[in-house]
């Protein structure tokens, strides 16, 4: 059993290459390489530090970008997480 919050997200084993705003991430488990946005990279890096929920990631991102946490931001973060999950870059932990 893990100590992560319900519905926390965490990354798979990834390798990174960055050129300015261009970010490539290689999933060592699948052998796939993906080009992602700088915001997606920020979210995955946050998850590498510690698995987190949509609410936690929204709060962290809002603080970094100096914006308010609102329903739209939470929706965008949730959508981003689903897309990153679909690409196989992150996974959800459920209790």
Cα separation, 56 vs 34, in Å, equals: 25
For the segment 5-35, what is each residue's pLDDT rounded down to a tens digit? 557 888 888 999 998 889 999 999 899 999 9
CB atoms within 10 A of CB 12: 18
pLDDT-derived band at 92, boundaries 50, 70, 90? confident
For the segment 36-82, what is each residue's pLDDT rounded down to a tens digit? 999 999 999 999 999 999 999 999 999 999 999 999 999 999 999 99
Q: What are phi and psi of 28, to 5 degrees?
A: -65, -25
């Amino acid at each position: 059993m893990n100590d992560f919050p319900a519905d926390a997200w965490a990354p798979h084993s990834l390798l990174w290459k960055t050129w300015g705003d261009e970010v490539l991430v290689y999933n060592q488990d699948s052998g796939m390489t993906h080009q992602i946005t700088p915001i997606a990279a920020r979210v995955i890096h946050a998850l590498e530090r510690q698995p987190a929920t949509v609410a936690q990631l929204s709060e962290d991102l809002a603080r970094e970008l100096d914006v308010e946490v609102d329903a739209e931001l939470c929706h965008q973060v949730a959508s981003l997480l689903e897309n990153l999950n679909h690409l196989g870059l992150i996974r959800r932990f459920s209790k």
